[in-house]
Amino acid sequence: MTRKLVLSVCSAFALFAFVGFAAQEEPKYTIKQVMKEANKGGLLKKVVSGQASAEEKEHLLELYKEMALNTEPKGSHDEWEKRTQAIVEAAQGVVDGKEGAAEALLKANNCKACHSVHRP
């Protein structure tokens, strides 16, 4: 009886672990796609200048959230999380209309600081 119980518990644990692992989604956008659309595409400049619509601000936030889900190409994972979280929080501030959020977003998007550590 004990053997069946242990086997059942182990099987259930393995199933839940597998389902949990399989449920982890791949990011919707790659880092390259985010950089191209947000930074090179001019969306960031439009948002920071105050000329972006609410939908464009939301899209920029979505791009940065998805970028944060990607694995850093090189460098420290903790540093990657710290930098991407700062960008996401600043973009959320812009969406929420917080005072000084545009300046914070521009500061968080320090290309050289991030690229020197994480760009392959």
Q: Residue 26: which of 85, 83, 71, 62 has the closest Cα?
A: 71
Asked if residue 18 belongs to a domain, the reply is: no
Entry pTM: 0.76
Position with higher pLDDT, 96 vs 11 = 96
Residues spanned by the domain of 85: 26-118
Using the predicted structure, report yes or no on whether residue 91 has a pLDDT greater than 90. yes
pLDDT at 22: 44
pLDDT at 86: 95
Using the predicted structure, report yes or no on whether residue 88 has a pLDDT greater than 80. yes
pLDDT at 66: 97
Write out the two tokens for 99: 């005072």
Question: What does the pLDDT average to over 88-92?
Answer: 97
Position with higher pLDDT, 25 vs 93 = 93
SS3 content of the chain, % helix, strand, coil (to 5): 75, 0, 25
Asked if residue 12 belongs to a domain, the reply is: no
Asked if residue 87 belongs to a domain, the reply is: yes
What 8-state DSSP symbol labels residue 42? Answer: S
